[in-house]
Amino acid sequence: MEEDDVEKAVMAYLKKKGFKATELALQEEQSRNSSSSASKTDPDIAKQILSFAESENGPTRYHDGYSKLRSWTYSSLDLYKHELLRVLYPVFIHCFMDLVAKGYSQEARTFFNSFREDHELMHLRDLQKLEGVLCPSHLEEMEFAHSLRQSKVNIKICQYSYELLLQYLHKTQSITMLGIINEHINFQVSPGQPSSISDDADAVILVGSSQDAAKQINEKEIHWGLLEDSVEDRLEKAGALMSDSEKIEGEKEVDLDENKRSVDGGKQGSSVKKLKKDKIVGTTGKNVRSETNTVSMAPRVKPELTLPVLSTEVEHSILEDLRNRVQLGSAALPSVCFYTFLNTHNGLNCSSISHDGSLVAGGFSDSSLKVWDMAKIGQSTVQGENGTPTEQLSGSENGRRSYTLLQGHAGPVYSATFSPLGDFILSSSSDSTIRLWSTKLNANLVCYKGHNYPVWDVQFSPMGHYFASCSHDRTARIWSMDRIQPLRIMAGHLSDVDCVQWHANCNYIATGSSDKTVRLWDVQSGECVRIFIGHRSMVLSLAMSPDGRYMASGDEDGTIMMWDLSSGRCITPLMGHTSCVWTLDFSGEGSLLASGSADCTVKLWDVTSSTKALKLDEKAGTTNRLRSLKALPTKSSPVYSVRFSRRNLLFAAGVLSKSS
């Protein structure tokens, strides 16, 4: 063994450990002896030094170090154990990736299989992704693994738990574990007692972009208010312009026979009268006034998109619906109409309901889109009672179908959405295309091509004309009906973009992804203006409050989270569902949230009282949970879609499945 090799190994070791004083002393010693003849070192000592250096870089130190840290954590006091356990998962995945990066593929696989059971309950989807990492090149090619290597994990922990961890690492001289924790974990240390176990949902944040970058993005200004001069805005102004004396006079002059008047010539004056009448006749008149005041507090913003102009007939129809809207709250729950799909043979992938509930669409695995007209189904039923063969309802060859069959896609249909007026329907498919259909002509009008992979979701804007889509290609796109190419492409998610939703003012869209984050995008610039972090599994559904202030998101685990768009902060998680939350929708005035899940239930949540209480609780530092008002179980039908009509009737749809 040459002396030069030994000296290089020793110098490399000292440099790696940061022993600068010893390194300088050794360099001086070498310079002194350079003139004289150097004596040969004992070969046994040389071998020991080199083997020690190799063992420092060997694979066993990861397995031994993690195993000891795991044993110490599980034997800790229960008060601090759940906080210390948060450290194990990021240490586990970074030990695994370090082994892969150093070329120890077999040892990495053994390590992964030895300890994966500890983390499967909370992080199964991440582990399934990392299973495919077999060599160093995979760490660079896989976006998820690459992002984890480049950024730090944020962990919330109390001061005492943090000191306990440091004391253990220094006492046991776990240099390898200490190095991983120092390089890949960012502790958010808080004074006082450990946080509760229920807060674990957002205690460990694995996200591609660093927390600093997310904070920087969330500091951008967003204009979350309602559009100026919208139909709702004009109606609210009409109600707000009335003085107290006018309201009293109006209450005296109201005639119940006004119900019979047509709204063909309904201008602002007549809408004011109708609004006054509703405040008296309505059973929840007090709620009307309070809700109008809360909504009117939302600022008015200008549209960034050129929005379509509504025809007078359509505007009158919307005004009529708004005037006759039932005011909902904790004491006044909505009526629910549930549409059940029968005999679909596991072929139904999605469903959609028009704003007035008159049309129901279903997307199927056989590439077809079927639309049911509720009025026609009713007529067919009457004909059947009068002697017409009942086969007409089941769609036999001799009789009429009870639905309209729309064919054109070359793969399973994953999403469908009606335009606000119900005259168009969009569908997206695994064939990477989006198709626009006319419900009046029952024909395909346009095929939009732009995505490279299956399109999971498509949604019309609240005003129509524009629509948004999201795909397996990790992008969301903005389209308009009159152009075959997308207007904007939103890229930034680290995995599939599973759902998309428009903001009430059409200036923003929100996207939920399998990377467990929700992002808010500016439609005009295409920039990400908010990143919402906190979900523990893929985000499957989104909903925006009518005033534009709040957003709800549902995930695969059954958790719903309510977000404040202005701050990017989670107001409260909603716990109650036991399976995937596939659909969400706010009531017309935003006081209730409806959620539909694979656990065969529709749940109603009280939004208004909880958000008001939250502001009072902020000073006290307590957390507030949204109150579940009612759970509506179906017999055996997972809920695919829920929608509030403009009059606040709740529609829901699902498919009858075989009970276990």
DSSP track, 566-588: TTTEEEEEE---SS-EEEEEE-T
| Residue 135's CATH number | 1.25.40.500
pLDDT at 504 over 70: yes
Q: Is residue 22 part of a domain?
A: no
Q: Is residue 51 part of a domain?
A: no
Q: Is residue 262 part of a domain?
A: no
Segment holding 596, helix H or strand E? strand 592-597
How many other β-carbons are positioned within 10 Å of the β-carbon of residue 412?
18
Contact between 195 and 203 (Cβ < 8 Å) = yes
Phi, psi of 404 (to 5 degrees): -100, 125
Q: Is residue 71 part of a domain?
A: yes
Structure tokens at 134: 């077999």
Contact between 169 and 181 (Cβ < 8 Å) = yes
- pLDDT-derived band at 508, boundaries 50, 70, 90: very high
Q: What pLDDT, on a 0 to 100 scale, did the predictor assign at position 254?
A: 36
Averaged over 390-411, what is the pLDDT?
64
Q: Is residue 39 part of a domain?
A: no
Percent of the chain with pLDDT over 90: 30
Instruction: Please choose, from the candidates 503, 492, 498, 535, the residue with its C-alpha nearest in 3D space to the C-alpha of residue 514.
Output: 498
Q: What pLDDT, on a 0 to 100 scale, did the predictor assign at position 264?
A: 38
Q: Domain range holding 127?
A: 59-190
| Burial class, 467, CB count within 10 angstroms (exposed 0-12 / middle 13-18 / buried 19+) | buried
Instruction: Please choose, from the candidates 531, 495, 491, 474, the residue with its C-alpha nearest in 3D space to the C-alpha of residue 144.
Output: 495
- pLDDT-derived band at 360, boundaries 50, 70, 90: very high
Question: For residues 360 and 198, what is the distance between their CA atoms, to the nearest angstrom?
Answer: 39
Instruction: Please choose, from the candidates 57, 46, 69, the residue with its C-alpha nearest in 3D space to the C-alpha of residue 166.
Output: 69
In one letter, which amino acid is 417?
T
Structure tokens at 36: 């004289």
**Cα–chain center distance at 135:** 32
- Sheet containing strand 336-341, edge to edge, reads 336-341, 650-655, 639-644
Q: What is the Cβ-side half-sphere exposure of residue 588, based on CA atoms within 13 angstroms?
A: 25
pLDDT at 23 over 70: yes
**Cα–chain center distance at 70:** 32
Q: What pLDDT, on a 0 to 100 scale, did the predictor assign at position 79?
A: 83
E strands of 380-507, at which residues? Answer: 404-407, 413-418, 424-429, 433-438, 443-449, 455-460, 466-471, 475-480, 488-491, 497-502
3-state helix, strand, coil in the chain (%, to 5): 40, 25, 35
* Angle, vertex CA 60, rays to CA 58 and CA 62, nearest 5: 95
| Burial class, 303, CB count within 10 angstroms (exposed 0-12 / middle 13-18 / buried 19+) | middle
| Burial class, 211, CB count within 10 angstroms (exposed 0-12 / middle 13-18 / buried 19+) | middle
| Residue 550's CATH number | 2.130.10.10
Structure tokens at 204: 């460990």
Question: For residues 440 and 141, what is the distance between their CA atoms, to the nearest angstrom?
Answer: 48
Q: Is residue 261 part of a domain?
A: no
| Burial class, 152, CB count within 10 angstroms (exposed 0-12 / middle 13-18 / buried 19+) | middle
Q: What pLDDT, on a 0 to 100 scale, did the predictor assign at position 485?
A: 93
Per the DSSP assignment, residues forming a β-bridge with 639 are 654
Contacts of 375 by beta carbon, 8 Å cutoff, 6+ apart: 358
In one letter, which amino acid is 602?
V
The long-range contacts involving 62-68, CB below 8 angstroms and separated by at least 24 positions, are: 62/95, 62/98, 62/99, 62/107, 62/111, 62/176, 63/107, 63/110, 63/111, 63/114, 65/95, 65/174, 65/176, 65/177, 66/91, 66/92, 66/95, 66/111, 66/115, 66/177, 68/172, 68/174
Bigger pLDDT: 185 vs 280: 185
Averaged over 21-28, what is the pLDDT?
78
Instruction: Please choose, from the candidates 508, 471, 466, 500, the residue with its C-alpha nearest in 3D space to the C-alpha of residue 483.
Output: 466
Q: What pLDDT, on a 0 to 100 scale, did the predictor assign at position 380?
A: 39
For the chain, the average pLDDT equals: 78
Task: Identify the weakest region by mean pLDDT among 125-139, 210-224, 313-327, 549-563.
Answer: 210-224
Averaged over 394-405, what is the pLDDT?
60
Phi, psi of 58 (to 5 degrees): -75, 165
DSSP track, 34-66: TSSPPPPPPHHHHHHHHHHHHHHTSTHHHHHHH
Question: For residues 81 and 427, what is the distance between their CA atoms, to the nearest angstrom?
Answer: 49
Q: Where are the alpha helices (DSSP H) in 185-284?
A: 211-218, 231-240, 244-253, 268-281
| Maximum separation of any 2 CA atoms in the chain, in Å | 118
Q: What is the pLDDT of residues 156-201, one digit of tens each?
A: 888 888 889 988 888 888 888 888 888 888 888 888 777 655 444 4
Structure tokens at 15: 């440099």
Bigger pLDDT: 434 vs 304: 434
Q: What pLDDT, on a 0 to 100 scale, did the predictor assign at position 642?
A: 95
The count of domains in the chain is 2
Q: What pLDDT, on a 0 to 100 scale, did the predictor assign at position 643?
A: 94
pLDDT at 279 over 80: no
In one letter, which amino acid is 492?
G
Averaged over 422-444, what is the pLDDT?
93
Contacts of 577 by beta carbon, 8 Å cutoff, 6+ apart: 554, 558, 559, 560, 595, 597, 599, 601, 603
Question: For residues 400 and 178, what is the distance between their CA atoms, to the nearest angstrom?
Answer: 72
Averaged over 282-286, what is the pLDDT?
38
Q: What is the pLDDT of residues 614-648, one digit of tens each?
A: 554 444 444 445 678 899 999 889 999 999 999 99
Averaged over 57-78, what is the pLDDT?
86
Q: Is residue 533 part of a domain?
A: yes
Please identify, among 133, 155, 190, the residue that sits at the C-terminal boundary of a domain.
190
Percent of the chain with pLDDT over 70: 76
Averaged over 497-513, what is the pLDDT?
94
Q: What pLDDT, on a 0 to 100 scale, did the predictor assign at position 268?
A: 36
pLDDT at 557 over 70: yes
Contact between 94 and 60 (Cβ < 8 Å) = no
pTM: 0.69
Q: What is the pLDDT of residues 117-131, one digit of tens each?
A: 888 877 777 788 788
Averaged over 59-65, what is the pLDDT?
87
Q: Is residue 408 part of a domain?
A: yes
Question: For residues 479 and 546, what is the distance between their CA atoms, to the nearest angstrom?
Answer: 22
Instruction: Please choose, from the candidates 595, 600, 565, 570, the residue with its C-alpha nearest in 3D space to the C-alpha of residue 583.
Output: 595
Please identify, among 190, 222, 253, the residue that sits at the C-terminal boundary of a domain.
190
Please identify, among 190, 209, 239, the residue that sits at the C-terminal boundary of a domain.
190
- pLDDT-derived band at 296, boundaries 50, 70, 90: very low
